[in-house]
Amino acid sequence: MRRFVIWMYAPDTPHWSMPEWSFERIRGALDPEWEIESVRVALEATGDGVRVTPPELLQAVADAEVYCGWGIRRDVFLAARKLRWFHSGAAGARNSLFEEMRESDVIFTNSAGMYADSLADHAMAGILYFVRGLDLAVRAQREREWVQSALNSPRSPLHAAPAAGEVAGASLGIIGYGGIGSALGRRAHAVGMRVQAIRRTVGPKPPELDRLDAPDRLPELLASSDFVALTAPETPETKGLLGAAELARMKPGAVLINLARGTLVDEAALVRALEGGHLRGAMLDVFRMEPLPSRHPLWGLENVLITPHVGGTSARFWERETDLIVRNISRYQRGDPLENRVDKARGY
């Protein structure tokens, strides 16, 4: 029998736990010569993988041809001696690209794009939060203050950068125009924003974009955008992408939105840019260290909106994820190329 093993079981965290209906759909997509197993040991997941490997998983994958999980740890990969295809429920690939994986002929697919809609909605929420001065309203509500005069004043966010109180006509720069970036670009264009983006391979410009450039045009994007959204994967080229110099090039009064990975931004430099008033604010869903330490200065900044790496959380995720796995099972059984195959050299 050919073995298909799944470890996506987290009964206390529904977002990380494959529903029974999803498992049954996957079972039904497999030809009769397959045996499928769901490892029923609760996992502790991070954004890109799991923290601890249970011995039950090592035993289960020993003769598995296919393994689905939240990333794959090196010890699991080495134990899975017959592995030919690994699918990750995570969008990021960083933690699974250890040397043995990179040098192997194991097919690696991930879930890039499955989180695109929820992350794009999350980014739009952040844009509207700052455009409408909701950070000031939330602060005033906490203090039970009626701040109508302050919000109507010429210096309030409703009259100043970014966007002077209306999202239409504001400029959005998107760094990384894959599934998440393009979902955000379409939404921003639909509400009247001017949208520009950079990506590694330029190609034809999608209709929702005003400009599409290569990474060497990053300084121009930073200088001309009211909002800058990071949606690029973490690679050697993108780590530390926005340091002190890049943040200083951003348009005065601009807002930074990070939905990518915390390592793309110099957090100390970001704190200085926010405290000094060069940036209007930041919405951050990802951080260099997670959970974000309680003493981190970002917690104390009133012009920062922090969400705990939940931008991709959505009840609809498992519909999209199951559809992807089922489509790829059909392709795998026919010997066709799989969707969402990770380029191990590029890292995404």
C-alpha to C-alpha distances, 205 to 161, 196, 223, nearest whole angstrom: 28, 10, 21
Query: Same structural domain for residues 220 and 121?
Result: yes
Residue 61 scores a pLDDT above 60: yes
For the chain, the average pLDDT equals 96
Query: Same structural domain for residues 248 and 143?
Result: yes
Asked if residue 210 is part of any domain, the answer here is yes
Each as own residue / partner, the long-range contacts of residues 98-101 (CB below 8 Å, 24 or more positions apart, any chain) are 98/74, 100/74, 101/72, 101/74, 101/77, 101/344
- Per-residue confidence (pLDDT) for residue 46, from 0 to 100: 59
Residues with a known catalytic role? 261, 290, 309
Query: Same structural domain for residues 75 and 203?
Result: no
Only one residue has tokens 């780590």, namely 239
Query: Same structural domain for residues 110 and 120?
Result: no
CATH no. for residue 299?
Answer: 3.40.50.720
Residue 62 scores a pLDDT above 60: yes
User: Which of these, 296, 298, 266, lies nearest to 282 by C-alpha position?
Assistant: 298
Query: Same structural domain for residues 108 and 240?
Result: no
Query: Same structural domain for residues 237 and 319?
Result: no
- Per-residue confidence (pLDDT) for residue 162, from 0 to 100: 67
Looking at residue 216, its amino acid is D
Asked if residue 339 is part of any domain, the answer here is no
Asked if residue 264 is part of any domain, the answer here is yes
- Per-residue confidence (pLDDT) for residue 161, from 0 to 100: 63
pLDDT tens per residue across span 307-337: 999 999 999 999 999 999 999 999 999 999 9
Confidence of residue 24 (pLDDT cuts 50, 70, 90): very high
Asked if residue 73 is part of any domain, the answer here is yes
Query: Same structural domain for residues 155 and 299?
Result: yes
What is the reported pTM?
0.93
Asked if residue 341 is part of any domain, the answer here is no
Q: Considering all CA atoms of the chain, what is the largest pairwise distance in Å, rounded to the nearest integer?
A: 73
Query: Same structural domain for residues 223 and 238?
Result: yes
Mean pLDDT value of segment 258-262: 97
Residue 47 scores a pLDDT above 80: no
What is the domain range of residue 329? 2-114+314-334
Confidence of residue 159 (pLDDT cuts 50, 70, 90): confident
Asked if residue 190 is part of any domain, the answer here is yes
Share of the chain above pLDDT 70, in %: 98
Query: Same structural domain for residues 97 and 78?
Result: yes
Residue 26 scores a pLDDT above 80: yes
Query: Same structural domain for residues 261 and 326?
Result: no
Asked if residue 301 is part of any domain, the answer here is yes
Asked if residue 342 is part of any domain, the answer here is no
Residue 259 scores a pLDDT above 70: yes
User: Which of these, 182, 177, 200, 183, lies nearest to 346 by C-alpha position?
Assistant: 200
Residue 148 scores a pLDDT above 70: yes
Query: Same structural domain for residues 176 and 109?
Result: no
- Per-residue confidence (pLDDT) for residue 156, from 0 to 100: 86
Query: Same structural domain for residues 41 and 6?
Result: yes
Residue 164 scores a pLDDT above 80: no
d(CA 76, CA 111): 19
The total of structural domains in the chain comes to 2
